[in-house]
Every structure is written in C-alpha cells, then in structure tokens.
DNA sequence: GTGAAAGCGCTAACAG
DNA sequence: CTGTTAGCGCTTTCAC
C-alpha cells in the first residue's frame, strides 16, 4: 500500500514534504508538489485515515443516529447528510438505534471516539442523557428542541397555517388530529401548532389521542376519527396517514369526497398512495445542511435553526361533504 | 481523555497490561484485570479506534454502498447490516452513490482505506471496475452475480414458481412482465426466471420492455400492459408496481378484478398500498447476514450465496376476469 | 522550502 | 503473568 514514505522515496524528498504537499500545499515548491501529486496518483495513494486521525486528533467522519431507517422520513435525510458530508470529504457512520434508548446511548459512547461530530435524530431520549453521552463531542439534535444541545427543527407553523387556511376555504369546520407517540417532541409540537392556528381560520381541532406512528396506528385511529364527526383529519405523519387511507377504504369511506386526509413529512410514499396524500412537507435536505452547519459552527453553542415547512396539496383533500 | 496510560498509572501497572486487559483478558491476572476494568469504567475510558486501527492494521468498520437509500428496498437491508455489525462491535460507513458509477468508484477508493471490508449493492457497475477499486480490500456484492467477487443474491426462483403457480390456479394464461432498467442484473434475472418457469404452469410471458424503476416508470408501463391483453402483470419491483396501481386507478381499471398486479421485493410500502400489493419477497435480513459472513469467510473467495425468496399474496392478485 | 525527529494511543513481539 | 520496546502512517514543531 502506498504511503507517504513510498512516495517520498520515489520523489527523492522527505516524508514531511509529501505530507505537506497534501495538507499545506502552499508550503511546497510548485514543481515538487506537482511531482508528488503525480506519483501519488500513479501509486494509487490514499492517506491512511487512522494515522491522520491519530496525529491530528480528528477523524474525518461524522456520526448519524436515527431511530429507524425503515421509516420513510429518514432515508432522504440520511441521503442528504451523506451527500453533504461526501463533498467535504467526510464519511458518515450510520447507526440505527431501533428506537431503543439504551442502545442509542451506547451508540453515542461508541461513536464519540470515532467521529468529529454527531447528528442525532432522537424524538424521545432525555436531552441531558444525550449531552452526557456525548461528553463534549459536538452533537446536533434534529427535530427536537433542547436547552442543552444545538438543534435544528422543521418549523411546521407556516405549512400548518396554509393547510388549515385551505381546509377552511374548502368549507371544513372541524378537523381531527390523529396524534403520534405521546412522548415524541414533534407530536406535541404539531398538536399545539394546530390548536394555536385553528382559531385564526375559524376551525375547531379535535384530538383523537395518541397512536403508534405506523400504518396500524393509523388504522386504529380511524374509529375515533369517524366518531369525532370531523370532516378532515391531520395525521401525525404520512405513515400513519397511509393506514388511515387503507382503513377508510376498507370501511367504504371515500377520500376526499366524504373525508379529507392529510399527513405530515411528505415522504416519497405519499405520492404513491391512492389517493395521493396531501402533506405538510419537511425539507430534509435543508435540515441536513443546517445540522451539518451547526456541527461546525460553535457560535451556535446551544442554538436553534428552524427550517420552514410547506404544504403540498394532492388529492386526499377536498371540499367539505 | 482517558487513555491506557492514565489507567496504567492509576493502577500501578504498565500500559501493555491495560491493553491486554481489554484485548486478551485471559492473559491478565483476574484481580489486576478487575481493577483495570473498574478504573477504566470510572474514568469513562473508550479505546481510541484510530490508534487501535493504526496499530492493528484493522479499522473496526465496514463500508456499505447503496445506489439510493431512498428506494424502499434498501432501508431494511441497511438496517440489518448495521444491526449485525453493531453486535460484532463494528461500525458502518454508509455511502449513497446516487446511482452514479463514477462516484461509486470514488467511494470505494475512499472507503477501502478506512474499513475492513465493503458490502456493495451495485446493480450496474462493471465488476472488474469494482474489483480494481477495491484493490484487495475484501468486498461482497449484493444481488449481482460476478466471476470476480464474492456475492450474495436473492434467489427468486422458488417464489416465482409459487407465484406463477398461483396465477395459473387463478385461471390466468397470459402474464406481462414490466421490466426494470435494462442494465440491472436483477432485472435480467427476473425476466429469464419468468420465461423459464412459465411453461411449467402453462403460462405465457409477455415482455413489455424496460422502464425506470420508479412510480413514473410503472405508470408509463401501463399503456403497453393494457395493449398486451395479459390478465396479470409482474412488475420489476414494488416501486414500479405502485405506479402501475396509481395509473390503473386513474384509468378506471380495477385491481384485482380486471387485472392482477404483483411486485417484487416486498418493501414496506407494499402493504400500505391500496389494494395491498402481492409481492415476491426478498429477505433483507438474511441477505445482510450472508453478506457479512461472506466478508469474513475467505473460503468463499469468489462464491455465491443464494437466499431463497418467498411469495406474499395480498389482494392485488385475484381470479382471471 | 525542506528535512529530522518526536509523538498521537494502542498493539505485539520479546524478554523476563 | 507482566514490563520493555518498537513500531503503525501521518502531522507538526524546530532547525537548517
């Protein structure tokens, strides 16, 4: 394997010069540098990251923890993080915590030794636990406020405002909120935004309770939804909403003519459903970019970056029956 | 930060003893070991992986490249790989190549320096390019045969046999195959399996051509499908099939009463669709396990591990109209 | 500009 | 069983 030594020998210079040619090119005479880079190329040299990391105290990698990559909300986020990291020559260490708080903590302990910073999606863990597990390693929370850690969240306010406005325009008066997991930060957030925004549009919000953020959760919520006499429903996320659509179809309730349904997150899935789901869209690429920025920007010691969401109207929403 | 030196000092032993206490516990007297482990715990010691990697020539990480993690086929696979790796104290470096062959090659060059082995999902790249980029680093291909690299593929034969048998039983005679990307290995494989298996069930396969493996690809395939006068259609994958369902609904063709539709891969999505999609299921967890095993098992120098698939019948398939 | 030398934290012979 | 001694490949003063 090519090392700076083999290159040095090849070029008749010292290893330090080769090292400089890569890390501080300006400190090396142009022709020497050119020669070094050329033979590096030729020998297929790739710096050994362990060695570099050991010497520099840095790793060239960032950690990314998600609760369940199988949830369609995450892949676009992971993809965006990976992409951005790639372009800054960083690698991404991914860990799927399986919604297991203890495993999540373990993962942070393990990751913090091998990365320069960690992006965490953790809707449930107590943030002091996270802070302690990080032990000084830079960490950024996604979609979760915290007084202890920098965080980046999608701000659903604008989209919720638009969505409710649109529902009002369509003649709806009573809107049900099909809640997600009670301990999820985004769930509380969405619920309170709905309640806060509804009056401005002359709408009434009816809470149907908390359900798992799964298709089954959505199906289970339908009974309460039908009882509520609401003419439109907002589900905690699109995955739940998919279950709602399935269950409504099974019960012969047609969407949107008898009932309007909207989801949140606008995952890829939403446009594949039948009827295509109207949704409150987060912007995963922006979330990722903000998170990565916050990982570096120490100004933002414990700050918040908010990414505005938008409302995507498809065909699961229509006029009040 | 705690190191083996601080622990050694703390315990009045030499650094090497501390090192052994972790890597070769049997070589250290029990009480000494206990003391070391205790103070390690107390000091919050975590071995520095760069140092360890440098000294051992090993990294404790494996690479995983996927073409597009946003495709629902991949998250369960990624999850399974990550999970298994976790339990063997390995980390996973993920890279999403964005279906870009050149970027994929770059990624391998970069990864090979920082991992002990690479699991690649690469339906298109020439396998000699992959082999060269690996430059000796152990690499395993998923869902793609190769004479140059060890590989693990799902063997669709059993499930296709069952599925076609079932279609025959339901009275179908003419089945359309809605092909995926022409250069995808799995696409050719599925097509030939269908053609090979159909006669045994008295079925005729009609190829409708190649389409992108996207919902739009599926929608686009519908025209040819309807022209084909087939009464059942197998799509290259579930994502395409979702588009087929959408387009059929738009055209007022009802599934399964007028046309049966099946997908491949059985991604999570499939059960959320309306009607729920019958699908030829790969077993991502088994794929992952086999791939990881193949990464270690040098016996399997350039071998093949086949994972049998199964047929999941939902409600998009029914009797011939 | 460039080289020599020390060291990042850990492992792995090699002696005892 | 345990300590001593070299490195692993790269970065980084400090001289020249």
Phi, psi of B117 (to 5 degrees): -175, 160
pLDDT of residue A151: 95
Which of A30-44, B170-184, B223-237 is the least confident region? A30-44
Are B112 and A46 within 8 A, CB to CB? yes
Q: Is the pLDDT of residue B302 over 80?
A: no
Across all strands, nucleotide nearest B23 (CA–C1'): C11
Q: In B, which residues are within 8 Å of A103 by CB distance?
A: 86
Please provide the CATH number assigned to the domain covering A155-284: 3.40.50.2300
Calculate the alpha carbon distances from B277 to A53, B92, B143, B234 in Å.
Answer: 49, 32, 22, 11
Q: Which nucleotides of D are covered by protein (CB under 7 A)?
A: 1-5, 7-13
Question: Is the distance between the Cβ of A16 and the closest atom of strand D smaller than 7 Å?
Answer: yes
Longest dimension (CA), chain A: 83
The residue of chain B nearest to residue A97, with distances taken between CA atoms, is B83
> Nearest CA of chain B to the CA of A201: how many Å?
32
Q: What does the domain layout of chain B look like in residue ranges? A: 1-47, 155-284
Q: In A, which residues are within 8 Å of B103 by CB distance?
A: 86
- What Å value separates CA A190 and C1' D6? 61
pLDDT of residue B254: 95
User: Which H helix or E strand runs over A226?
Assistant: helix A215-227
Q: What is the pLDDT along chain A (321 residues), one digit of tens a residue?
A: 789 999 999 999 999 999 999 888 888 999 999 999 999 998 888 888 899 989 998 888 999 999 999 999 999 999 999 999 999 989 999 999 999 999 999 999 889 888 999 999 999 999 999 999 998 889 999 999 999 999 999 999 999 999 999 999 999 999 999 999 999 999 999 999 999 999 999 999 999 999 999 999 999 999 999 999 999 999 999 999 999 999 999 999 999 999 999 999 999 999 999 899 999 999 999 999 999 999 987 666 667 889 999 999 999 999 999
Q: In A, which residues are within 8 Å of B269 by CB distance?
A: 72, 269, 272
Tokens coding A2: 């090519």
The residue of chain B nearest to residue A59, with distances taken between CA atoms, is B50
The residue of chain B nearest to residue A215, with distances taken between CA atoms, is B272
Alpha helices in chain B (DSSP H): 4-11, 15-23, 30-43, 49-56, 74-87, 101-111, 127-134, 157-169, 185-197, 215-227, 238-250, 284-296
Question: Is the distance between the Cβ of B1 and the closest atom of strand C smaller than 7 Å?
Answer: yes
Are B86 and A79 within 8 A, CB to CB? no
pLDDT of residue B57: 86
Compute chain A's Rg from CA coordinates: 25
Q: Of A311, A306, A312, which Cα lies nearest the Cα of A143?
A: A306
Q: How far apart are CA A42 and CA A40, in angstroms?
A: 5
- What Å value separates CA B71 and C1' C7? 46
pLDDT of residue B86: 94
The residue of chain A nearest to residue B74, with distances taken between CA atoms, is A70
Q: How far apart are CA B226 and CA B209, in angstroms?
A: 13
Phi, psi of B30 (to 5 degrees): -55, -45
Q: In B, which residues are within 8 Å of A69 by CB distance?
A: 69, 75, 78-79, 82
> Nearest CA of chain B to the CA of A26: how many Å?
24
Cis ω for the linkage preceding B111 (within 30 of 0): no
Compute chain B's Rg from CA coordinates: 25
Three-state secondary-structure class, residue B289: helix
Is domain B1-47 given the CATH code 2.60.40.10 in the classification? no
Three-state secondary-structure class, residue A155: strand
Please give the average per-residue pLDDT across B299-306, as a whole number.
Answer: 75
pLDDT of residue A274: 87
Band (B101; pLDDT cuts 50, 70, 90): very high
Q: How far apart are CA A247 and CA A252, in angstroms?
A: 9
Q: Which string of b and e fits A153-164 if b means at least 16 CB within 10 Å?
A: bbbbeebbbbbb
Cis ω for the linkage preceding A256 (within 30 of 0): yes
Residue whose tokens read 């029990």: B30
Asked if A140 and A115 count as a contact pair (C-beta separation under 8 A), the reply is no
Which of A167-176, A282-291, B34-43, B163-172 is the least confident region? B34-43
Q: How far apart are CA A233 and CA A211, in angstroms?
A: 14
Mutate to test the interface with B, among A113, A136, A247, A284 (most CBs of B within 10 A): A113
Asked if B277 and A242 count as a contact pair (C-beta separation under 8 A), the reply is no
Q: Of A97, A135, A101, which Cα lies nearest the Cα of A115?
A: A135
The CA-based angle A151-A157-A162, given to 5 degrees, is 150
User: Which H helix or E strand runs over B154?
Assistant: strand B151-155
Give me the total of CB pairs closer than 8 Å, taking one residue from chain A and one from chain B. 143
pLDDT of residue A49: 86
Tokens coding A87: 């372009």
What secondary structure does DSSP assign to A40-86, as a single string?
HHHHT----HHHHHHHHT--SEEEEEES-TTSTTHHHHHHHHHHHHH
Question: Is the distance between the Cβ of B27 and the closest atom of strand C smaller than 7 Å?
Answer: no
Q: Which nucleotides of C are covered by protein (CB under 7 A)?
A: 1-5, 7-13
pLDDT of residue B43: 87
Are B272 and A75 within 8 A, CB to CB? no
pLDDT of residue A297: 76
Are A113 and B82 within 8 A, CB to CB? no
Question: Is the distance between the Cβ of A15 and the closest atom of strand D smaller than 7 Å?
Answer: yes
Tokens coding B202: 């008295």
Band (B135; pLDDT cuts 50, 70, 90): confident
> Nearest CA of chain A to the CA of B215: how many Å?
7
Pairing of strands B232-235, A278-281: unpaired
Question: Is the distance between the Cβ of B5 and the closest atom of strand C smaller than 7 Å?
Answer: yes
pLDDT of residue B240: 97
Are B114 and A49 within 8 A, CB to CB? yes
Q: How many CB atoms lie within 10 A of CB B51?
A: 16
Phi, psi of B120 (to 5 degrees): -120, 130
Q: Is the pLDDT of residue B299 over 80?
A: no
Are B70 and A76 within 8 A, CB to CB? yes
Please give the average per-residue pLDDT across B290-304, as a whole number.
Answer: 80
């Amino acid at each position: 394997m090519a090392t700076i030594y083999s290159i040095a020998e090849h070029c008749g210079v010292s290893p330090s010069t080769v090292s400089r040619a890569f890390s501080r090119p300006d400190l090396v005479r142009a022709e020497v540098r050119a020669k070094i880079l050329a033979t590096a190329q030729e020998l297929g040299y790739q710096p050994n990251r362990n060695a570099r990391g050991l010497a520099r105290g840095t790793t060239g990698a960032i950690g990314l923890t998600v609760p369940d990559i199988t949830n369609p909300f995450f892949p676009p986020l992971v993809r965006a993080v990976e992409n951005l990291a790639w372009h800054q020559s960083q690698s991404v260490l991914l860990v799927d915590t399986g919604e297991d708080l203890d495993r999540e903590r373990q993962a942070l302990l393990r990751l913090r030794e091998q990365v320069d910073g960690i992006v965490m999606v953790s809707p449930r863990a107590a943030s002091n636990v996270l802070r302690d597990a990080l032990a000084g390693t830079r960490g950024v929370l996604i979609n979760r406020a915290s007084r202890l850690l920098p965080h980046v969240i999608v701000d659903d306010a604008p989209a919720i405002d638009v969505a409710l406005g649109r529902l009002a325009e369509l003649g709806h008066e009573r809107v049900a909120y099909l809640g997600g997991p009670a301990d999820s930060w985004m769930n509380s957030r969405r619920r309170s935004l709905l309640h806060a925004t509804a009056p401005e549009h002359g709408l009434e919000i009816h809470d149907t309770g908390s359900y798992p953020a799964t298709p089954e959760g959505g199906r289970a919520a339908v009974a309460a939804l039908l009882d509520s006499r609401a003419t439109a429903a907002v589900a905690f996320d699109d995955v739940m909403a998919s279950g709602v659509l399935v269950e409504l179809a099974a019960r012969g309730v047609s969407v949107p003519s008898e009932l309007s349904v909207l989801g949140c997150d606008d995952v890829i899935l939403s446009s594949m459903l039948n009827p295509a789901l109207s949704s409150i869209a987060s912007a995963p690429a922006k979330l990722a970019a903000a998170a990565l920025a916050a990982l570096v920007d120490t100004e933002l010691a414990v700050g918040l970056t908010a990414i505005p969401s938008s409302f995507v109207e498809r065909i699961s929403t229509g006029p009040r029956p």
